[in-house]
Structures are given as C-alpha cells and as structure tokens.
Chains A and B, each alone.
Chain A
Amino acid sequence: MSTALSVIQGDFGVHSSVAFDEKLAGYGLELHAAAIDTLQVNVGKLCNQACKHCHVDAGPARMEIMTRETAKQIIEAVRKFRIPTVDITGGAPELNPSFRYLVRESRKLASHVIVRHNLTVMFGPGLDDLPEFFREHSVEVASSLPYFLEHETDAQRGHGVFEKSIEALRLLNAVGYGIENSGLILNLVYNPVGAFLPPPQESIEADFKRELWSRYGITFNQLYTITNMPIKRFLDYLRRSGNEERYLRKLVEAFNPNTIDGLMCRNLVSVDWTGRLYDCDFNQMLELGVAPELPQTIADFDPVEFAHRRIMTGAHCFGCTAGAGSSCGGAVAAR
C-alpha cells in the first residue's frame, strides 16, 4: 500500500524534493525567488528554552553561536546592499554576545529590524533591559505564544513558560509595545500544540486579543499562525507519538497552490551562525544550502544574484503550502 510517508519520501529519503516538485508541476508551478527584501539571521542554537516543537533543536546546552566576525560580515552585507529588513532569530538571539551589535548597526543603516523574541529570555541575567533596548531601537518584536491558556503553552514550551510569558508581555506593553498608535510593533506567533494544522489566522487572532485582554490586560498588534514543520524535535515528537504518517498525509492533502506566491523563501535569504546561506530557516536546519551555482556564504552574497533564483525544496515544503500556508509572517493565502 502506498502511504503518505512513502509518497513524500519516495526512494529519495526524507528530505527529497521530488514529491513537492512533482506536486508543483501538477499545477504548472515552479518555485523561484522574487526580489530579496529580508535577510533572516539565525545567530545560533543557544536558547533558554527547549520547546517540544523546535525545528532548530535549540536549547540551553547548545554551543553553536555566531561569532562577532560573522556578525560583521552580515552588517557589511546590509550596508553594501541596503537590505530593507533584518530578521534576527535563533535560539534565543538575545543570548548571543553580538545580538545588540547586530541590532544597533542594522538600525544605523536604516534597516527595519525584527527580533524573534521568546519572551522568557528577558528574565535571564543582564537581560531585564530588553524591552527598553527594543524600544530605543524601534525593533519589531515577534514572540511565540502558542495559546492563550497555560496548559497548552506549558505543554509545548515547558513548565512555567506561560506565566513568565504573560509577565514579559506586560513589561513590553508597559514600554509601549503592542499599544495602539505607539509605533512599537508586538506581534505574537501561534503554532499548534501538537500534530494538527493552525486555525484560520483571523479567527484565532480575535480569540487571542479577546482572551489576553480580558484575562491579563495585554494587547498586541497581529497574530501570525505558523505550521509545525516535520523537522528535528517536532519530527521526533511525530515519530514517538505515532503521528508521522498521519501528519505528513495531512500536509500533502492540504496542499494549496495559492500559497506559492506568498512563500517567505521568495523574498528572503537565510544565513546561519557560520555565515552560510539558505533559502529559509527550515532548509538551514536540514543543511540544505542555496543552489550550488550561487555564492554560499554571506561574505560573497549579492542580492542581484539571489533574486529570481531557483529555490531548493524538500518534503518539508509541504508544511509551508498546507491550508492557508505558513511563513514567518503567518498565513499567506486564503484556504
């Protein structure tokens, strides 16, 4: 019997692009980049949390973090090519000694800066000024909060994380983040607490706004829904829980061709803690670099060469094209 797993993996292994590319071809589609407007910088795998769904496999024991030399190469690329948006992620990027350097220098160069901030890290040593630091540099903050209830959030992100996250959100609100007309953007990121697809973004955003306000007096700007990727720790969970086949089938069956135009890989380039380049953060974790005909490191990066490039795909790409689609900016299409 042909299973979803075998359909995705074929004879080519779990990261094969064949099934996904065939699916695109079936709709007469190809996946190429548009112009590059975002450099997504993953400064490494060190994190104060060890979430069960983490595609980075990040945690407190991970030592792989970006050096200042690589951070300088990134800033040089931002300066040279006037990159509009620098999107900083990890791990918990604030734990990297070069984090504030990256933010300050990017802002000096007039780039918009997004920080993927996990909220709880601000309670670590020497990090209690983060809300003020973000405000001072007009950073856009994007924070994971998988649900507005404690049980679901702690089940995914660890015991006590919800309570700390609520306290952190209050501190961000207190300096103006997520407050109407403050100009300080606080977006939240929802991802399912388990092996299922996200709900419609608009409806769950309305729930989050109502519940976080009525229960905790917290406000924020937008909620982004993100699909869990069958990579690293979440893939381990799927296998341990006997959900791999079912989840992959769900992703394939929910393929939506209308998501292709809005996929994040079309407008960004991802750089890892060593300076290597990828089409997205997921490819980065699978060590699936950009097409071999392109420059492979940030030191050799040129956005002109990367615009309209061929995107490297794999079975995991079904995660970004299922249902309303998924990106670092949330859903990308109507269902």
Chain B
Amino acid sequence: MNYYDENDLGHFADVGKHRPDLFEKFMAWYQACQEDGALSRREKALIGLAVAHALQCPYCIDAFSQSCLEAGSHMEQMTEAIHMAAAIRGGAALIHGVQAHNSVNKVSM
C-alpha cells in the first residue's frame, strides 16, 4: 500500500461509504465555502492553497493548485500565498520563544 497516492484524490467519495449523510453534509458545506461571496473564488482558492501548505496535505495542495490555475491565478500569486502560510507557521513557532523565555525566567534568579 502506498501512502498519498495521487489517484486517491479521485476516491474521496469513498470516505462517505459508511455515513453518507455526514459526508454529504460535509461536501455541501465544503463546496458552498468556495463559491463567490464577499471573497471571490480566486481569493478563496489562494487561501485554500495557503492552508493546504500550512497543513502539508498533499491532496489539498494538488487540488488547490489546480483550483488556483482554473481561477486565473499565476505562479507569482500562488507563491506569495505559500510564503504567507510559511511565514505564519514560522512566526507561530518563533512567538513560542516567549513561552521559553517565560519558562526560563520563572526558574531563574
């Protein structure tokens, strides 16, 4: 068995096999989230791409890379979105340095 086979993305619906009611609710919500609204589909696709990288989900990265292209984004824009994800992940790690400082300060004279 291979982990993260690209063909698995096409079998996503299999996840609904045992509780189709829950899966259908998820899909309706998932698709509604991506429609044009206060944010455009293109903006939402770029958010999806950034989140996919933050989560490091290969299925999501593949899916949202395609969504971004089909929404009209180009690689410069997509790369900026990925940098946002990476920067926030990096920043989230770094801000925890304050915790380390607090911890050290607590036991230090």
Contact = CB atoms under 8 A, between A and B. Distances in A.
Contacts of B75: 151
Interface stretch (B15-23, B47-55, B66-74, B87-95): B66-74
A195 B79 CA distance: 20
Interface string A145-161: 00101011000000000
Interface residues of A, number: 15
Interface stretch (A10-18, A19-27, A199-207): A199-207
A212 to B, nearest CB: 14
Given A199-B42, A249-B10, A204 B69 contact: no
Contacts of B71: 199-200, 203
Nearest to B76: A149
Contacts of B76: 149
A198 B41 CA distance: 14
B40 interface: yes
B74 A204 contact: no
A196 B40 contact: no
A265 to B, nearest CB: 24
Contacts of B41: 200
Using C-beta atoms within 8 Å of the partner chain, give the interface range for chain B: 10 to 19
A194 B69 contact: yes
B74 A196 contact: no
Interface string B58-84: 000000001001111011100000000
A192 interface: yes
A147 B74 contact: yes
Contacts of B66: 196
A152 B74 contact: yes
B42 A203 contact: yes
Contacts of B10: 249
B72 A196 contact: no
B70 A197 contact: yes
A114 B71 CA distance: 29
Contacts of B69: 192, 194, 196, 199
Interface string B17-43: 000000000000000000000001110
A199 B74 contact: no
B74 to A, nearest CB: 6
Chain A CB within 10 Å, residue with most, of B10, B40, B75: B10
A163 to B, nearest CB: 18
Interface in A170-205: 192, 194, 196-200, 203-204
A199 B74 CA distance: 11
A198 B70 contact: yes
B72 A207 contact: yes
Given A192-B69, A194-B69, A196-B69, A203 B40 contact: yes
Given A192-B70, A199-B71, A204-B72, 15 more contacts: A151-B75, A192-B69, A194-B69, A196-B66, A196-B69, A196-B70, A197-B70, A199-B42, A199-B69, A199-B72, A203-B40, A203-B42, A203-B71, A207-B72, A249-B10
Interface of A: 147, 149, 151-152, 192, 194, 196-200, 203-204, 207, 249
9 contacts: A147-B74, A151-B75, A152-B74, A196-B69, A197-B70, A199-B69, A200-B72, A203-B42, A203-B71
